[in-house]
Structure 1
Amino acid sequence: MTYHFSRPDGRVTILGALDLERTPAGVRPRRLPAWTRPRLNDGWMDLVVSHTAGVRLRLRTAARSLALGVHVTVPVMPEGRLPASFDLVVDGTVLARVPATAGDVLTLAADLADARLAPGPAETVRFDELPAGEKDVEIWLPHGATVELRTLDSDAPLLAPTPPPGVAWVHYGSSISHGLEAPAPTLTWPAVAALTAGAALTNLGFAGNAVLDPEVARAIRDTPAGLVTLKAGINIVGEASMRERTFVPAVHGFLDTIREGHPDTPVVLVSPTSFAELETTSGPVTPDPETGRKRALGSAGTGALTLTGVRTLLAKIVDVREDPALHYLDGRKLLGPDEAGSLPDGLHPDPAAHLRMGDRAARLLLGPHL
């Protein structure tokens, strides 16, 4: 029995995507609406929006075997190939993981114009020996790759899918939330938190691009949510792209836009996790050519931002707004200064740290609002 994504009929729900780009063979899930694409006008942002972090298929079936026809584009960074695997979740439990083995390979360079695309074939991702009986199935797509969905074959009918359990959680953040250091899509910290707490995740973690774009705020405004969390600051400090004068009103404006669509929804403003280089020194940051670790260069002038300063500003913003549904969480409660050994480049958490962050987020970020 073959389901064609080019001809959707409601038997398969695609969660975590805010756009489905039509292709001749199927659809490509994207994590922001199509209208944002020309307005953001940045190649790197366009790339990470196409990564299917937190995107998953949801269906109900008694099938014992599923075969997903896909065409994957996997980026290769200077540090190596990004992770690309498909995770099978049955009734809320991760049961299987299948790596992508074919598809296009996109070799990236510092200048995106120098990227090289090596075309590759489509492939079929198989999951066999599923539990007997009717069950809720989710297939989590690779969090560091672009995926074209073509077909889904099953050895039993696809039934009307049940709604995803738990509160609809929309999370915005940087590369740490995107989770490219995690080896699989259900092992990023937002995915771990969602699966642990029973929340329905939409992951708007965009590597290198959590810069308070108003288009993202509008997308969050227009997306159903029972909880919104905003992890803000690290990319802005790391790129030295704002000063205190511009950062504070940018955060207020971001929140104002979200409140237009979610006037009473709990919103948690989360400050950056620990990163020693930027705690008291401003950005920008650059990789050390010998060690690969991130190094702060510092900015001259009044109002240059540090992580310590950003935490103070975010807490003050929450106080000033006097919004009973707006909360503040110090990001160091998710990943603290005593865990620097879990940051290979000084900033990004390793796989074990993602698991710890996910467990803590389930308690501290989701728990109080579920």
Structure 2
Amino acid sequence: MTNNSKRIDVIRLDENMTIKPTVHDSLQWLSPLEKPFHIAGFAWLGQDKRYRRLPTSPTLSLPHAVDELANCTAGGQIRFRTNSSRLSLRAKLRGPSDMYHMPATGQSGFDCYLGEPGDQHYLSTARFDPASTEYEAELYNWGEKREFCVTLNFPLYQGVEEVWIGVEPDAAIGSAPSYADDKPIVIYGTSITQGGCATRPGMAYSNILSRSIPLEFMNLGFSGNGKGEPEVARTIAEIPNPAMLILDYEANSGTIEDISTTLPQFIPIYRERHPDVPIVVVSKIRFAGDRYYEEMRILHEGRKKVQEETVMRLRQRGDVNVHFVDGSNLLGEGAEECTVDGVHPTDLGFLRMATSLEPVIRELLAQTKY
């Protein structure tokens, strides 16, 4: 008789699921903090030398949760060119993978894209033990020299203490192509902005957009804590020379009264430093519960109205560079089928979000000649 209570060991049964040991004796290990590597997505990296999304010692005291979540490396990228026949990666994380609804590959993994800006294609994701805080993973092994521009996306919901790039000792390492401009697109928001719950880093919507729009993207999504506080607004405004600011924080904004206070404060604070930069206010995507819970629907409609009216009022006062996007349309038909839990998008959801936002961003960039 079959023992139905016995654990099914899929990793043993399917060799494609196994984590194969890596052989690294012949590789040289390089720090991406050194030239010619380029690291994108961390505005304060040059100052603090840490893979962190906000300053280590901010001018203003940040909310504790925001300060902690800033250590998650969502949106970070390592860019370079190489002809190495092999490419591996070593990472030291701040903790193990522990999320119930997000794969370890998205929370704590790196993934690899090859190709020039605007023509990048996914190749592989790091394989590792999700319980481990240190791992080494082979990203490709051609067996011959082939030159590519490489983009490695950092983990979305974990901190990275160290990362090293392994290449053949005789491999050439060069700089990645420059962006079309040195002006970053800054996105502030919630867990959805941060990338919950993409299966791998490259599928967060900021990273998807970065593959089609040749600018640096700064992902400032703070899971559960995108609340629009003034001190956060002032800190974000410190990022120099932005091409655009996208505010996507309704889902964490609290009551209708809360967002009625924070949004009309956030935008003027940002305007003090960046008077003409396009600002795009995006209301939240459609949640599955919006269909069934009247109080949820009323809350969303009220907060969306606040955002629309705030933008309209600012435009009437002369700020023609602030815009509103109705986020309830971003996922399209069957929106509830694009989430893992009725709230957080799957890869399909993030792809639809990026596809919907891309023409808006492109049009505004063209209007402002960025």
- Scaled to the shorter chain, the TM-score interval is 0.7 to 0.9
- C-alpha distance in 2, partners of 1:11/1:81? 32
Are the aligned partners of 2:76 and 2:153 in contact in 1 as well (CA < 8 Å)?
yes
- C-alpha distance in 1, partners of 2:223/2:363? 26
Q: Aligned match of 2:320 in 318, 321, 324? A: 324
Q: Aligned match of 1:77 in 94, 99, 103? A: 99
Q: Deviations over 1:213-264 (max 9, x none)?
A: 2233223212231111111211123xx4xx52x4323212211222222221
* Higher fraction of strand: 1
Letter in 2 for 1:10: K
Are the aligned partners of 1:59 and 1:136 in contact in 2 as well (CA < 8 Å)?
yes
- C-alpha distance in 2, partners of 1:67/1:203? 25
For the structure 1 residues 336 and 308, does the alpha-carbon distance in structure 2 shift closer, same or farther, using more than 3 Å as the test? Answer: farther
Q: 1:182 aligns to what SS in structure 2?
A: coil
Letter in 2 for 1:177: T
- C-alpha distance in 2, partners of 1:366/1:74? 38
Q: Aligned match of 2:156 in 143, 147, 166? A: 143
- Please say if 1:39 is aligned against 2:61: yes
Q: Once the 2 structures are TM-superposed, how far is the Cα of residue 330 of structure 1 from its aligned partner? A: 0.8
For the structure 1 residues 221 and 21, does the alpha-carbon distance in structure 2 shift closer, same or farther, using more than 3 Å as the test? Answer: closer
Are the aligned partners of 1:70 and 1:125 in contact in 2 as well (CA < 8 Å)?
no
Q: Aligned match of 2:178 in 160, 163, 166? A: 163
Q: Aligned match of 2:252 in 235, 248, 262? A: 235
Are the aligned partners of 1:32 and 1:216 in contact in 2 as well (CA < 8 Å)?
no
- C-alpha distance in 2, partners of 1:130/1:96? 16
- C-alpha distance in 2, partners of 1:139/1:12? 11
Q: Once the 2 structures are TM-superposed, how far is the Cα of residue 145 of structure 1 from its aligned partner? A: 2.1
For the structure 1 residues 13 and 219, does the alpha-carbon distance in structure 2 shift closer, same or farther, using more than 3 Å as the test? Answer: farther
- Please say if 1:219 is aligned against 2:245: no
Question: What is the total number of aligned residue pairs between the two structures?
Answer: 325
Are the aligned partners of 1:217 and 1:258 in contact in 2 as well (CA < 8 Å)?
yes
- C-alpha distance in 2, partners of 1:64/1:202? 31
- Please say if 1:30 is aligned against 2:52: yes
Q: 1:332 aligns to what SS in structure 2?
A: helix
Question: Which position in structure 1 is the counterpart of 2:350?
Answer: 354
Q: Deviations over 1:275-322 (max 9, x none)?
A: 35458855xxxxxxxxxxxxx5x9xxxxxx811011111111111112
Q: Aligned match of 1:310 in 303, 310, 319? A: 303
- C-alpha distance in 2, partners of 1:226/1:22? 21
Q: 2:113 aligns to what SS in structure 1?
A: strand
Question: Which position in structure 1 is the counterpart of 2:10?
Answer: none
- C-alpha distance in 1, partners of 2:314/2:164? 48
Q: Once the 2 structures are TM-superposed, how far is the Cα of residue 157 of structure 1 from its aligned partner? A: 3.3
Are the aligned partners of 1:18 and 1:29 in contact in 2 as well (CA < 8 Å)?
no
Are the aligned partners of 1:274 and 1:336 in contact in 2 as well (CA < 8 Å)?
no
- C-alpha distance in 2, partners of 1:58/1:40? 30
- C-alpha distance in 2, partners of 1:215/1:222? 11
Percent identical residues? 24
Greater gyration radius: 2
Letter in 1 for 2:178: P
Letter in 2 for 1:157: A
- C-alpha distance in 2, partners of 1:331/1:33? 30
- Please say if 1:264 is aligned against 2:264: no
Letter in 2 for 1:369: L
Question: Which position in structure 1 is the counterpart of 2:21?
Answer: none
- C-alpha distance in 1, partners of 2:162/2:143? 21
For the structure 1 residues 143 and 334, does the alpha-carbon distance in structure 2 shift closer, same or farther, using more than 3 Å as the test? Answer: same
- Please say if 1:58 is aligned against 2:82: no
Letter in 1 for 2:251: I
Letter in 1 for 2:79: R
- C-alpha distance in 2, partners of 1:21/1:262? 22
Q: 1:74 aligns to what SS in structure 2?
A: coil
Letter in 2 for 1:29: Y
Q: Deviations over 1:312-364 (max 9, x none)?
A: 11111111112111111111121257522333422222222222112112123
- C-alpha distance in 2, partners of 1:48/1:211? 13
Question: Which position in structure 2 is the counterpart of 1:249?
Answer: 261
Q: Once the 2 structures are TM-superposed, how far is the Cα of residue 179 of structure 1 from its aligned partner? A: 1.8
- C-alpha distance in 2, partners of 1:336/1:206? 25
Letter in 2 for 1:271: S
Are the aligned partners of 2:77 and 2:153 in contact in 1 as well (CA < 8 Å)?
yes
Question: Which position in structure 2 is the counterpart of 1:114?
Answer: none
Q: Once the 2 structures are TM-superposed, how far is the Cα of residue 141 of structure 1 from its aligned partner? A: 1.3
Q: Once the 2 structures are TM-superposed, how far is the Cα of residue 49 of structure 1 from its aligned partner? A: 1.9
For the structure 1 residues 39 and 179, does the alpha-carbon distance in structure 2 shift closer, same or farther, using more than 3 Å as the test? Answer: same
- C-alpha distance in 2, partners of 1:343/1:69? 31
TM (norm. structure 1) is 0.76
Q: Once the 2 structures are TM-superposed, how far is the Cα of residue 208 of structure 1 from its aligned partner? A: 0.8
Question: Which position in structure 2 is the counterpart of 1:86?
Answer: 110
For the structure 1 residues 333 and 366, does the alpha-carbon distance in structure 2 shift closer, same or farther, using more than 3 Å as the test? Answer: farther
